[in-house]
Amino acid sequence: MHSVVHLLKSTQFPAVKRLNLETLQVNLGYLCNQSCTHCHVDAGPKRTELMQDEQIDQLIALMKQGWVKTLDLTGGAPEMNPRFKRLVSAARRAGVHVVDRCNLTILCEPGYEDLAQFLADHDVEIYASLPCYLEDNVDRQRGKGVFDASIRGLLMLNALGYGKDRSLNLVFNPQGPVLPPPQQSLEADYKRVLFEKFGVVFNRLVTITNMPIARFGSTLVSKGTFDGYLNTLKAAYREDNLAAVMCRSLVSVDYEGVLYDCDFNQQLRWPVRDGQGRALTLAALSQHALNDIEVIVGEHCYGCTAGQGSSCGGALAA
């Protein structure tokens, strides 16, 4: 991991100007029922890091202030944090839109039988990871049997109105050091195959570029393909994408409450720092607390601006 961090530090990536802060993207911990090769947070079943009550209470207090528009929950499997339901319920009471980044298979795990109904009852928007509509490709990337469990999860959500009255979005990651294909055409393929084969429906497909950090970055280094992939990202840089990068209106929060410009900086351990160089935490956060603090950029930022662009909400440009 240290070699990857070193390779990403020096950059000529343009400065990013912040807009109004509207989204809290919160990592509730690294515990997950899966261990995917593309996972940029190294999540897995043996991880024990979980956000605790102190940070949950701070998040709830922030949302009561009225400026938070979206609470974007990620992990690991965010639902495996035992405080997940309390946080979601409080956010919805405060009128905050909630996004759950769900791996789908968690819906079929023992002890989570009521999870899909809970998400529906609280009108939580779901971004569900499904890196391909073909079983072999999914199982190769995420583990044997994951595709079947994912389809079961999707059908469970469809039965609750997701994909129709409730928002269900699928997330595509490439399987190697390449850019995602055009989002619109790939979405059409997903919708056709998943409906014809399984009767599954969903609202949108979002394509996300694999970032050369953490587990994926280390794999690139070990295979000698790190520099080649980074050159691919740089060669596809599009200045127009800078206007829509997510770090302009989002702050990422780790399970200990430390603040970062994005989820990727979080995994590189590059926190937002004040004028004295101190890492900022939830205790110091307000709507305008980050206005005069520069976004920390690195070589991986080319992943957000390459080609059609990439964010947690999918492609930035047509």
Strand 250-253 with 259-260, pairing:
antiparallel
Sign of the CA dihedral running 220, 224, 226, 228: negative
pLDDT of residue 140: 66
Q: Average pLDDT per run of 10 along the chain, which is 318 residues long?
A: 62 89 96 66 79 98 97 94 98 98 93 96 95 69 76 97 96 86 91 95 92 83 91 92 92 97 92 93 95 92 88 72
Cα gap 206→169, rounded to integer Å: 7
What's the pLDDT at 267? 87
Please report the pLDDT score of residue 169 as a whole number: 96
Cα separation values, 119 from 32, 56, 79, 85, 157, Å: 18, 18, 10, 9, 9
**CATH no., domain 20-225+246-290:** 3.20.20.70
213, with CB counted inside 10 A (0-12, 13-18, 19+), is buried
